[in-house]
Amino acid sequence: MSDGRVRAVIDALRPSVDGGRFAVKRVAGEALEVEAHCFADGHDVLRARLLWREEDARDWQEVEMQPLGNDVWRAQFTPQAIGRYRYSVAAWVDAFATWRHDFARREDPADQALAALAGAFLAEAAAARAGGADAQQLKDWAARLRAAGKPEQVRAAALDEAMAAIAARHPDRSLEARWDVDLPLVVERERARFSTWYELFPRSAAAEPGRHGTFKDVEKRLPYVAELGFDVLYLPPIHPIGRERRKGRNNAVSAAPDDVGSPWAIGAKEGGHKAIHPQLGTREDFRSLVKAAEKHGLEVALDIAYQCAPDHPYLREHPEWFRKRPDGSVQYAENPPKKYQDIYPFDFECADWKALWQELKSVLDFWIGEGVKIFRVDNPHTKAFPFWEWAIAEVRRAHPDVIFLAEAFTRPKVMHRLARLGYTQSYTYFAWRNTKQELTEYFTELAQGPGREYFRPNVWPNTPDILTEALQVGGRAAFMQRLALAATLAASYGIYGPAYELMEHRPREPGSEEYLDSEKYQLRHWDLERADSLRAYIAALNRIRRENPALQADGSLRFFHTDNDHLLAYGKQSPDRSNLIICVVNLSPHHTHGGWVELDLGMLGIEPDRPYQMHDLLSGARYLWTGARNFVQLDPQRSPAHVFRVRRRLHREQDFDYFL
Amino acid sequence: MSDGRVRAVIDALRPSVDGGRFAVKRVAGEALEVEAHCFADGHDVLRARLLWREEDARDWQEVEMQPLGNDVWRAQFTPQAIGRYRYSVAAWVDAFATWRHDFARREDPADQALAALAGAFLAEAAAARAGGADAQQLKDWAARLRAAGKPEQVRAAALDEAMAAIAARHPDRSLEARWDVDLPLVVERERARFSTWYELFPRSAAAEPGRHGTFKDVEKRLPYVAELGFDVLYLPPIHPIGRERRKGRNNAVSAAPDDVGSPWAIGAKEGGHKAIHPQLGTREDFRSLVKAAEKHGLEVALDIAYQCAPDHPYLREHPEWFRKRPDGSVQYAENPPKKYQDIYPFDFECADWKALWQELKSVLDFWIGEGVKIFRVDNPHTKAFPFWEWAIAEVRRAHPDVIFLAEAFTRPKVMHRLARLGYTQSYTYFAWRNTKQELTEYFTELAQGPGREYFRPNVWPNTPDILTEALQVGGRAAFMQRLALAATLAASYGIYGPAYELMEHRPREPGSEEYLDSEKYQLRHWDLERADSLRAYIAALNRIRRENPALQADGSLRFFHTDNDHLLAYGKQSPDRSNLIICVVNLSPHHTHGGWVELDLGMLGIEPDRPYQMHDLLSGARYLWTGARNFVQLDPQRSPAHVFRVRRRLHREQDFDYFL
């Protein structure tokens, strides 16, 4: 029997991911708000505190929790450093607070006199716990309470605010209740929450057509990428490309002698996951690129694809890491009747799994050693989940600033598992959400659903694997519209360029989402200076994102009613509510649409009878709106989206002295 | 590092109350449906099983789970005996099922030949696990798979259904994943879920006015209570009533010499919680009453009120169980400025708490020894929660058939805690839910909210403490309407009689919910034969409850739209859907109301183009309805409610042979 005198109860502590099995995520400087149901039997007064500490710290920090009514208590703390933390809640029936609460309501002077005596006992007990100056003050106070006197004097002494404050600092917590799990919190750097990605194939970065691009060429491309406003430069795999069973252009089964192959067919005689494809340059060239990118405010993100081309050195050095067919040959990837004979997956059920895990993790460590802090992981859902949980935790133990993006376009529960077990960010279904209802439902779920504590969406209107039908047929308006949606709906988004800004839209064949003449299998040359490029539009959106904290987090997203199903309206605001962005997007790439937008003024903190200014940060135009309902019209050929900054304070005649 | 080769993942197992901290509740013979998200990396085929056992059993029973899509798996089991159980889920990547799934899709004969060989290895491995006849069959099959032959022969051998079924019986579960908590389930007897309560004061049960009633008088009342259709007869405390500071009629501070006092002021020189008030009779009389009640299909429920009158023997024998005031006097109950000087609460923070707990539990054991199996607990929310959790578990360990009803009219989170820590049933806010919106929201929450796994509502239109305004002013129609709602909305309900059937409605003073001349403080004499008594109406409703399984559980409750805010429509059905009840209630006690009721035919399993019969079990009238929308009109002066049994199968011309 544990101590049955613990009368306080703590229930429903949140946030909590699977009861503490996985960590809640925040970034440094971002508050964690904690709520719990705290109560006890009867009418006694409770106190509750939020406890938190860095995982390796011995002592807890404590924050007094405030009751919100209905037995819900709340407090928050703001972790300043990245790393792992723990938090919990303690609550106790507070004899002193109960005594004071009751005393204030006592009407009978005889009762008050007796209660003052009881208070003296409590003050003396608090003094014994206190020590120092507080102890002396509490002892003096106990003496005053014992001194009795006229009813008014007794009452004044008992309800002395200053003494109550001192006593409250030294509560009797010997019978406190404690939440039974120290819940984990992972605090990452700001880019975990707010990032803007640009993907390019280095081999297509040569200035002149036909030549294989190099890291040096990418270095020359940095000013362009920086001018567009991105902060992450993501490169597909940069390793030697297998020659055995190499795929040709447009995924042809056999490659021509001069075909460059897929960067995801990793490994050849020149090396594997820790080597660099010779045609791209040297280790020194790569280091130079990483450093140069940094100077442009760009971080280089590498692709991690744990799979092997048939001529990867692992096949020779570690055949035990691969599954064998009954004829002794190595099992290639397959999903019958489809065969992927150019790719060998690792066997995560092999007997030597510990060595395999160590080697795969050493790939991450190797590139971290080369200055890489962001990894985009290819198809993590086809590798064993326990490996990821272990590897990400191990890497983060030494390098808490490393970011992992999961490229798992798969079933929802699998994507959520990857996010919970440690991935910083996750690709999403955004590419296939087009209608007002689809976008509203999906992004409401992302912002407010249970995943909000651990699933950070990174939305991409295109990738080298995904040229959506919307982009194939929607023309320039569709590219602008999908970009505006991505940049404002999600704090992290990315594009695969220059295909995006140059509006590449031809599929390999009708009904396919593959690009025709995809860079996955061949070099491409892009004319970045084309007059119709979207580079200026992209640069404007990314500047707006940098200048407006509202767009740098996802939790505040709310959708607003419009009376036209082609008009999508939504808003986001900064945690201090000083920065408020409202977007209205015409979802049709073909026709002008107008309609009434109905804002939730209460939520936005706008007074219903005061005008406010809507400043379109894309066009520079300013509109004066009043009340919840206002009319908007958008011509997709000119601009499919308004990105309004709401200017809440406007003068009107009442603001002047002479008005009153 | 645990075994990293366990690739299957189990998530989101439900039902689960606080991750297994508290038990899910069912009754014997009621199925427990369990769902979990089960998946693994890649495309391999998964299998999953629900595991369950009686808590003390060594071996698990297993039920194969079925995938519902979206990685959700489901299975169920039906515990037949009352007691404590555990359940969990196991899942594994199944090499054999994966092999067979892939084989069926292979098109290349060379691939098939190789896969057949792989299958032979799997069959041999299964044989090694199997033993017995299965082992021989699997070995023979392995030989067939090795024998090769023409592609059709290979394919036929590999996809042999009978062999697949045998192999599936002997899976390789060496790398299975297991939910990490064995979740608790409490299985109670049917009355825990479906019960109909009648509360009466034995001292008012005398046949002639003015005499103090006895257990013998209650025995004579049993046929009446049974005729009304109740199955639980609940008695307020039957113990000696304190004389010190006894309250007078209508809660007067001082009692007149002949005042009988409140039964909740427990304890006097004749004894305390294990004694019987001498004016009610002897222990033998009580035992006789319990037995006689049983013969009428009635169980006697006792009131447990853990508090003492000033002259309770505990005060003398165990002063250490009570809090002292600074002047040495015992602390009476108070909530300043209110004082309850006739009641002394126990101090659950006293040093001797273990002895206090044992003594309080011994009260339950004592009455269980006298044949009582149902306790209605007075104000459990003013006693320490850990005590209840311990006491209920301890009692149930020896007597798993004991039922506890929590009389906690308090804040929602406190009520839910009591339900989770072990109370079988809970009083609710029903008495104060009157409008269509209030009733719909509250009962939807009860039936479908998270509490549905542990919070069993017991709804009372009145109690000796609660004469609602609705009953004070609504007349006979209000009494009928509230009764019909209680009897059909909740599987467990009760009334305080004969006040209810005799429509006692005078409050002590305007604005009060206390009865005038309440039985809590004086004897009353009731004329059960009054012509306007609701006894026939009550008997009819209770008969309908007994005859219709739909009304004997709460989970299936669904509300239907009506176009008149005074008309409430809802339905319930039995687990096998064979019994379907639809109620329509006019919530106004004053006016006739009519309107269109819109059923959800799909949910109810009624075809939209077929007529169905609505048989009003109260009036006997039958109506022919078609489609979702039908008109209903109710005159509250005649009958405020329809309780329809839906008769789904009706003949029409197509049913006859000659129609086609």
Q: pTM value? A: 0.95
Under DSSP, the state recorded for A332 is P
Query: Which residues in chain B have their CB less than 8 angstroms from residue A4's CB?
Result: 348, 353-354, 357, 384, 386-387, 390
Enclosing H/E stretch for B155: helix B151-158
Residue B659 has pLDDT above 60, yes or no: no
Closest in B19, B175, B385 to A41, CB measured? B385
Contacts of A354 in chain B (CB under 8 A): 1, 4
Which CA distances in Å does B369 have to B274, B286, B399? 11, 12, 11
What is the ipTM metric for this complex?
0.94
3-state secondary structure B465-486: CECCHHHHHHHHHHHHHHHHHH
pLDDT band at B593 (very low <50, low <70, confident <90, very high): very high
Mean pLDDT, contiguous 10-residue spans, chain A (660 residues): 90 97 98 98 97 97 98 98 98 97 95 95 96 95 91 94 96 97 98 98 96 98 98 98 97 95 98 98 98 98 98 97 95 92 96 97 98 98 97 97 97 97 98 98 97 98 98 98 98 98 97 97 97 98 98 97 98 94 97 97 85 95 94 96 88 60
Average pLDDT taken over every residue of chain A: 96
Q: Are A85 and A170 in contact (CB under 8 A)?
A: no
Chain-chain contact of A337 with B106 (C-beta, under 8 angstroms): yes
Q: With beta carbons under 8 A apart, name residues in chain A contacting B71.
A: 411-414
- Please name the member of B5, B37, B382 whose beta carbon is closest to the beta carbon of A349: B5
pLDDT for the residue numbered B655: 64
Nearest CA in chain A to B109: A337
Pairing outcome for strands B232-235 and B195-199: parallel
pLDDT reported for residue B486: 98
- Name the residue among A522, A524, A525 with its Cα closest to residue A250: A522
- Tell me which chain B residue has its CA closest to the CA of residue A414: B39
CB A219 within 8 A of CB A211: no
Put simply, the answer to whether A42 touches B382 (Cβ < 8 Å) is yes
Q: List chain A residues with CB under 8 Å of B381.
A: 41-42
Mean pLDDT of chain B: 96
**A355 contacts on B by Cβ (under 8 Å):** none
Provide, as residue numbers in chain A, all residues whose Cβ is less than 8 Å from the Cβ of B40.
385
Radius of gyration in angstroms for the set of CA atoms belonging to chain B, rounded to a whole number: 31
Indicate if the pLDDT at residue B658 is higher than 60: no
Q: Do A385 and B37 touch (CB under 8 A)?
A: no
Contact at 8 Å (CB) between A302 and A238? yes
In angstroms, rounded to a whole number, what is the distance separating the alpha carbons of residues A460 and A439?
14
Cβ-Cβ contacts under 8 Å between A and B: the total is: 147
Chain A nearest CA to B621, separation (Å): 46
Tokens representing residue B529 in the block? 């034969």
In this complex, which of B70, B336, B414 lies closest to A39 when CB atoms are compared? Answer: B414
Residue type, position A371, single letter:
G
pLDDT at position B1 = 60
Q: How far is B636 from chain A (nearest CA, A)?
A: 37
Q: Give the containing element (helix H, strand E) for B86.
A: strand B83-93
Please identify every residue of A annotated as catalytic: 378, 407
Cis peptide before A15 (omega within 30 of 0): yes
Q: Which residues pair with B345 in a beta bridge?
A: B307
- Whether residue B71 contacts residue A414, with contact meaning beta carbons closer than 8 Å, is answered with yes
DSSP A96-127: HHHHHHHHHH---HHHHHHHHHHHHHHHHHHH
Taking residue A546's Cβ as centre, other Cβ atoms within 10 Å add up to 14
* Subunit contact B335:A43, Cβ cutoff 8 A: yes
Quick one: pLDDT at residue B660? 47
CB contact under 8 A, B108 and A18: no
> Containing H/E element for B9?
strand B9-14
B561 token code pair: 């739209």
**Tokens at residue B155, please?**
């394919």
Task: Please name the helix (run of DSSP H) or strand (run of DSSP E) that holds residue A414, with its range, or none.
Answer: helix A412-421
CA distance to partner chain B, nearest, from residue A412 (Å): 8
Answer whether B357 sits within 8 Å of A386, measured CB to CB: no
Q: Which of A42, A326, A334 sits opposite B118 (nearest CB)?
A: A326
Residue pLDDT, tens place only, A391-434 = 999 999 999 999 999 999 999 999 999 999 999 999 999 999 99
Relative to beta strand A567-573, strand A580-586 is antiparallel
Query: Do A70 and B413 count as a contact with CB atoms less than 8 A apart?
Result: yes
Contact B395, B402 (CB under 8 A): yes
CB-CB under 8 Å, A106 with B71: no
A108 contact residues in B (CB cutoff 8 A):
337
- Are A118 and B326 a contacting pair at CB < 8 A? yes
Residues of B taking part in catalysis: 378, 407
* Whole-number Å distance between alpha carbons of A368 and A231: 18
Q: Cis omega (within 30 of 0) on the bond before A337?
A: yes
Across the interface, which of A37, A93, A412 has its CB nearest the CB of B70? A412
Q: Which residue of A has its CA nearest to B380?
A: A41
Question: Within 13 Å and on the Cβ side, how many CA atoms surround A389?
Answer: 19
Q: What residues contact B424, with CB distance under 8 A and at least 6 apart?
A: B25, B188, B192, B403, B404, B405, B456
How far apart, in whole angstroms, are the C-alpha atoms of residue A98 and residue A167? 12
Contacts of A39 in chain B (CB under 8 A): 411, 413-414, 417
Closest by alpha carbon to A43, among B356, B512, B353, B410?
B410
**Rg for chain A (alpha carbons), in Å?**
31
Q: Say whether A325 and B42 touch across the interface (CB within 8 A).
A: no
A202/A210 Cα distance (integer angstroms): 13
A52: three-class secondary structure by DSSP: strand
Using a pLDDT cut of 70, give the percent of chain B over it.
98
A268 secondary structure, DSSP code: B
Query: Cβ distance B456 to B492 under 8 Å?
Result: yes
Q: HSE of B243 in the Cβ direction (CA atoms, 13 Å)?
A: 8
Comparing CB atoms, the residue among B4, B349, B414 nearest residue A384 is B4
Q: How many CA atoms lie within 13 A of A228 on its CB side?
A: 28
CB contact under 8 A, B7 and A326: no
pLDDT in tens, A464-515: 999 999 999 999 999 999 999 999 999 999 999 999 999 999 999 999 999 9
Check whether B210 has a pLDDT greater than 50: yes
Tell me how close the Cα of B381 comes to any Cα of chain A, in angstroms. 5
Q: Which residue reads 């609940």 in tokens? A: B234
DSSP code of residue A515: B
